[in-house]
Each structure stands twice: as C-alpha cells, then as structure tokens.
Amino acid sequence: MADYLNILTEEKNGVLYLTINREDKMNALNHATLEELKGIFEEVIDNRGIKAVILTGSGEKAFVAGADISEIASLNEVNARKFAENGQEIFAMIENCHKPIVAVTNGYTLGGGCELAMACHIRIATANAKFGQPEVNLGIIPGYGGTQRLTQLIGRGKANELMMTGDMIGAEDALALGLVNHVLPTKSEAMEKAEEIISKIMGKAPLAIGMIVDCVNAAFLPEDGYQTEANSFARCVKSGDYKEGTSAFLEKRKPIFKGE
Ligand code: COA
C-alpha cells in the first residue's frame, strides 16, 4: 500500500489498520484526507490480500471531529452539492465494501466523523467517545449521508433530536441507541474487541459476508434521501447563517443566527 499524508496504514495478517492522522486538528476530514480514503478503499476492494479493515483516529481525543470547517467555510450552492455528493460516494464505497470494516471511535466522533463511523459495518466506541451531528451550529446539515444513516440506525425521533439540537451524546447513550455495537474502557481494549470480531468474521465464508453486506444495505434504498440531502446541504450554504456559523467557529466566538 502506498504512503499517505493524512492516514497511517499498516497491514497485519490480512487486516488493514487505518488511522486518520491529523491529531492537531482533531482528525478533521479535509479534502485531501477524504481523497486518500477514496484511494485506500479502491485498493481495499481490489487487493485480495486485504480481508478486513479497522479504522480509527490518531490519539485519544478524537476519532474524527467532522469535516474540516476551514475548508467548508466558503462553499457556494454548486460546489456544496458536489462536496456532499463526493463524500456520499466515498462513504457509500465503504458501506458497500464486501470486506468487514470496523470503526474504533476513540473520542470525538462528530459531523463527518459520525457519518464516517456510520458508513462502517460495525462501530466499537471507547468510553470517552462523544457522538453528534453539530452541523446545525454552522448553519448547515450533515452532507455525507448522515441524515439517512443516523435515521436508519437510531430511528426518526432520536435522529431528529440529535440533528436539530446538535447535542453530543456519550458512548453509553450511543450504545443504548444502537449507534455503536460495543463500548470498551480504553482505546487498546476497543482495538482488541475490533480484532476479536474481525478474526471471527475472517473465519467465515468471504462470499457470504459480501452478500450480507449487499442484503443489509438493500434493506435501505434511500437514493432519493441522499439526493435530497445533497440538495438541502447546497441550499444551506446560500444562507447568511452558514457564513455566520462557520466564521464564528473559526473566530472562536458564539454565532448569532438570523434565519436568513
Ligand atoms: N474542522 C477544522 N478544525 C477543527 C475541527 C473541524 N471540524 N474540529 C476541531 N478543529 C481544530 C480546532 O479549530 C483547533 O485548531 P487550533 O488549535 O488550530 O485552534 C483544534 O482542532 C483543537 O480543537 P479545540 O476546539 O481547540 O478543542 P476542544 O477540546 O476545545 O474542542 C471539539 C473539541 C471537537 C468539541 C471542538 O473542536 C469542535 O466543536 N469542533 C467542531 C465540531 C464540528 O462542528 N464538526 C462538524 C463540522 S461540519
């Protein structure tokens, strides 16, 4: 596997370990990191030596704290739709991959980070993990499939509440909601749990595992939902609230929204 700038890769016994490595920015997903993810998952799909993937974030504080706000602060309606569709396409590649993909969510798992974790087949959280879709604080909405996958995973009422309030929830609440499969006290224990599950799955018939992925995904065919999400995301960036929300974050102050 080639070297990447923002993602550490290590292959061991057929398992590819991926670590989003922008610790000083809470592993926020900038464009370059997203493109690296795309390249890596294209290889995961093609490379017969890779049987499974474990994806985590560098350090103890964050899995991924969202899309990189410094890059999304100046979108227009046209490139915002492209921004959302590109992320949706990459995350769909992960969700549809016939090899098991397990996310170990260590710390902040917010916005695009929560969306990335939800695109993986299984999620293991550390006890300090915090989940949320705080896009509403920036005058936007989740754009990488979050409006669809969160609703699928935890149901309409709770998904509405989380996305409308932008609130964060802890790992135990995420477990109770079915957002994560397991919670372990530390990152190393969470990694061990991921390895235990992966090793069990690797002992099963790979073709059958791929068919399970296809069938589970077929239970949700929300193509219109994703298009609505990309269009709505693009509409948000036309607003003054979006400019105010992103500027306020970057200027480290509270936003004042006007609803326009
Ligand atoms: N995009 C870009 N930079 C981000 C980021 C993001 N999504 N999340 C965190 N960072 C950066 C901060 O700007 C800061 O950079 P700086 O040191 O150059 O100022 C650094 O990561 C550390 O974050 P900081 O806010 O100082 O840490 P904290 O412990 O006080 O708070 C969070 C952590 C995750 C609660 C806070 O960073 C946050 O709310 N991030 C944004 C989450 C979000 O809205 N995600 C959705 C984006 S669409």
pLDDT (tens digit per residue) in 129-172: 999 999 999 999 999 999 999 999 999 999 999 999 999 999 99
Burial-class residue 203 by CB neighbours within 10 Å (0-12, 13-18, 19+).
Answer: exposed
Ligand 1 centroid to 26 CA: how many Å? 6
Averaged confidence pLDDT in the chain: 94
Q: For ligand 1, atom 14, name the residue with the nearest CA.
A: 25
Ligand 1 centroid to 101 CA: how many Å? 26
Q: Is 196 a catalytic residue?
A: no
Q: Is 9 helix (H, G, I), strand (E, B) or coil?
A: strand
Q: For ligand 1, atom 42, name the residue with the nearest CA.
A: 65
Residue 238 pLDDT greater than 90, yes or no: no
Ligand 1 centroid to 109 CA: how many Å? 11
Active-site residue (options: 135, 172, 195, 251): 135
Spatial distance between the Cα atoms of 131 and 125, rounded to a whole number of angstroms? 10
Q: What is the pTM of this model?
A: 0.92
Spatial distance between the Cα atoms of 4 and 61, rounded to a whole number of angstroms? 22
Tokens of 226: 């994703």
Spatial distance between the Cα atoms of 112 and 86, rounded to a whole number of angstroms? 12
Average pLDDT over residues 217-240: 81
Residue 10: beta bridge partners? 17
Which atom number of ligand 1 is nearest to the Cα of residue 110? 45
Q: Is the CB of 66 under 6 A from ligand 1?
A: yes
Contact by Cβ (8 Å): 194, 54:
yes
Ligand 1 centroid to 19 CA: how many Å? 18
